[in-house]
Structure 1
Amino acid sequence: MIIAEEYLNRSRLFRRLKSGPHGQLFELYAARLVEVGLAGQGTWRCLNVVGDLLAWMASRRIRLTDLDERVVERYLQHRGGKQTIQPGDRAALKRWLLILRTTRTIASPALPADTPQAQIFAEFSDYLRSERGLAARTIVRHLPSIRRFLCEACPAGATDLGKISQEEVIHYIERHAQDWSPRSGKAMCWSLRAFLRYLHHTGLHPLALAGCVPSIRQWKFASLPTYLSAAQVQKVLVGCDRATATGRRDYAILMMLAKLGLRADEVATLTLDDVDWRAGEMLVRAKGRQRARMPIAPDVGAALVAYLRDGRPQSACRRLFLRSLAPHIGFASGCAITMIAKTALERAGISGYAHQGAHIFRHSLATELLRCGATLSEIGQLLRHRSHDTTRIYAKVDIEALRTLSLPWPGDAQ
């Protein structure tokens, strides 16, 4: 694969743009493309789309100093009518705008005006952070439910907050309680209680409405954990093409999910500094702001070494796992790890499970350990459960052990 620097050294397109009226800007832009590690084809695409943008602006007598996001959107609509817009075109133009703003060729973007809802969200988020001590990821999970509630109960914004009635709260939950699963319904009620408690705490509502939020019944331990057999897990692992850099990365990620029982977010946030090769262990940023040291199994370590030596792109980013496409940075969240696991399951032909993502490997590991004789206490320690009740659900999957506890059926001896 030709990297950006090699391509620029022999590119006629780059030489033509560099010799034009904006040559110095294109040199800075090319340096940015080299910095993010684009391949030759990606570099050509970026230079081509920016050059085409400038030609389009010249044909409409738009000055470079007038370029902003609105002009870019007009250009993309024009380009979309002539040819297909590639996923990297918007990113290429964003990089160009960044160069122009860094050199003060164009003005900084205008800050969007805060809507009444945005102000409410900002103040509510500050309350959850300062008063309740919640993490940023937990706060973000509250906002979709609150946004939907405000759209229906407070269309006028903050002026209607003090007019919310108990009946409105109850009717809202009755309308939306069955939109998703019982677990999602409980999360919606949890978010609403937190928000209504905030309104009363800050004096925005005279009544403590949190107490009128009804509970959604969800029977504890009513369902079995979704898990794969050991043969299915092995089939998923074998399905990774370890002849490619992406395949080696995905194989190492899946090994961490399947052999160590890590959560998707825990894998996404691992850094190079978290791995202690001498001690043979790694530092995991676990759920609830916990930090735990976990031993690295030999097969997991071998998969990591193969990725670090022959799969991980060169990057200043300290995250352990990086995006395969430029810019080579870490994943934004555990959602990317979930998508890698989901793709691997589909590639292996495994379907029909209620939960088909990264967490199914965690359940599979616990189930297999239980069948091999591990105690629930040992499984709970490995999975870093804070409560024994969380681990007890795996007792239900050991059907053979449960048979020894069952009483004879009445009348069976007759």
Structure 2
Amino acid sequence: MTITQEYLERSRLFRRLKNGAHGQLVELYAARLVEVGLSRIGTWRCLNVVGNLLDWMASHRARLANLDERMVERYLRHQGAKQSIQLGDRAALKRWLLTLRTAGTIAPAAVSVNTPQEQIFAEFGDYLRSERGLTARTIVHHLPAIRRFLCEVCPAGATDLGKIKQEDVIRYVECHAQDWSSRSAKAMCWSLRAFLRYLHHTGLNPHALAGCVPSIRQWKFASLPTYLSAAQVQRVLDGCDRASPTGRRDYAILMVLSKLGLRADEVATLTLDDVDWRAGEMLVRAKGRQRARMPLAPDVGAAVVAYLRDGRPKSSCRELFLRSLAPHVGFCSGGAITMIAKTALERAGIRGYAHQGAHIFRHSLATELLHSGATLSEIGQLLRHKSHDTTRIYAKVDIEALRTLSLPWPGGAQ
């Protein structure tokens, strides 16, 4: 029997709702809470939110059949005027609406009508996916820059796409290139080129404007990689509470980051099927839709096994690392892995670095390997770099090797 089921058996709140006018629907809702494995407090909160919503509807003589997202928003505004809305309240009500729709009690969700601009975005996304081979996550990164560009250059909407001229593009880039960092400006230009290439490819604009997007100057290797010493990395690992399930999960994630050099997104997308225990290998879904097999170091494997045995919640989800709070599913993106790394760094008292997230462990591994005598080619293979130039930045932290290149100063000192 799960924690949720034990709570429901002795909950006066659940009995009150079950004996009310919508008791059968409440029981269906409770079954869904059992299915996702919410904690006792989470279950109480969901039932309490639904109970308050039903009381509010009764006081306003609103019929349950008329409940939809707009009415839920009205209720949340009403509640927000009296008390703060907690983070899980919207999720609880969204789950309630899904239960009612599954039972056929309320109408299906209204289908959103795409605006002409949204239709353009959808077709642009299809083009990037089919013609350019980009992933959905990469495509999403293009949209904010394109949205800002269209709002300023094409205020009339899709009808003005064919009227975009070369001077419009150049003026826009010159006006906004300094709004953010040089890296962000380069990303903006990259998105613009892709979009303008799409407009010409589909005939929406007769001019090939991609070539007129100015280039943003950014000096290669102008910065040093941010990295931690081996002692600092160990301090971060030692800061995990490996007596708790969440601590075992975080420790395993940090071991994968620091010992294998995986990116945050690569850790988030690992599945149970990606680990070949017999061969001692791990399949990694890398950037650019690449797949690479990496050796699973014994200490990393031991950390993952400890999490699987005594930390991973029971779940049908195949992702290797799951959320500690119900619903126990995988992380939706690498952002959660970055937050786990950032929290671990703060817990270890490591602050003041330019980059304080998951990627600092990747830099730290490369730097430690370089100091241990590994070649740049070997490091590039481990980190799965496409270009040697990407790996070459680590040469800037090899002080001893750089000393041999320095010219002698007058007087013989070097």
TM-score, normalization by structure 2: 0.97
Equivalent residue of 1:79, what SS? helix
Identify the residue that residue 11 of structure 1 maps to in structure 2: 11
**Gaps (5+ residues) in structure 2?**
none
**Gaps (5+ residues) in structure 1?**
none
Alignment deviations for residues 35-91 of structure 1 (CA, whole Å, 9 cap, x no partner): 111011111111111011111101100000000011111111111222222111111
Equivalent residue of 1:51, what SS? helix
Alignment deviations for residues 347-406 of structure 1 (CA, whole Å, 9 cap, x no partner): 212122211111111000000000001111111111111222211111111011110122
Inter-partner Cα distance in structure 2 for 1:174 and 1:353: 32
* Count of paired positions: 413
Identify the residue that residue 89 of structure 2 maps to in structure 1: 89
Say whether the 8 Å CA contact 2:315–2:328 is kept in structure 1: yes
How far residue 167 of structure 1 moved from its aligned partner, in angstroms, is 1.7
Matched, 1:260 2:274: no
How far residue 409 of structure 1 moved from its aligned partner, in angstroms, is 2.8
Inter-partner Cα distance in structure 2 for 1:2 and 1:399: 57
Identify the residue that residue 159 of structure 2 maps to in structure 1: 159
Inter-partner Cα distance in structure 1 for 2:176 and 2:381: 37
Say whether the 8 Å CA contact 1:256–1:262 is kept in structure 2: yes
Equivalent residue of 1:87, what SS? coil
Question: What pairs up with 1:326-405 in 2 under 5 angstroms?
Answer: 326-405=326-405
How far residue 2 of structure 1 moved from its aligned partner, in angstroms, is 7.4
Greater Cα shift, 25-34 or 135-144: 135-144
Inter-partner Cα distance in structure 1 for 2:188 and 2:93: 39
Greater Cα shift, 267-276 or 157-166: 157-166
Say whether the 8 Å CA contact 1:2–1:39 is kept in structure 2: no
Say whether the 8 Å CA contact 1:2–1:40 is kept in structure 2: no
Amino acid at match of 2:94: K
Greater Cα shift, 373-382 or 79-88: 79-88
Identify the residue that residue 144 of structure 2 maps to in structure 1: 144
Inter-partner Cα distance in structure 2 for 1:125 and 1:79: 39
How far residue 412 of structure 1 moved from its aligned partner, in angstroms, is 4.8
Inter-partner Cα distance in structure 1 for 2:71 and 2:290: 47
Matched, 1:316 2:321: no
Say whether the 8 Å CA contact 2:2–2:34 is kept in structure 1: no
Matched, 1:307 2:280: no
Question: What pairs up with 1:171-250 in 2 under 5 angstroms?
Answer: 171-250=171-250
Alignment deviations for residues 220-266 of structure 1 (CA, whole Å, 9 cap, x no partner): 11211111111111111111122221111111111111010000010
Amino acid at match of 1:240: C
How far residue 180 of structure 1 moved from its aligned partner, in angstroms, is 2.0
Say whether the 8 Å CA contact 1:315–1:329 is kept in structure 2: yes
Aligned Cα RMSD in Å? 1.4
Inter-partner Cα distance in structure 1 for 2:42 and 2:135: 37
Say whether the 8 Å CA contact 2:49–2:92 is kept in structure 1: yes
Equivalent residue of 2:88, what SS? helix
How far residue 179 of structure 1 moved from its aligned partner, in angstroms, is 2.0
TM-score, normalization by structure 1: 0.97
Runs of 4+ aligned structure 1 residues displaced above 4 Å come to: 410-413
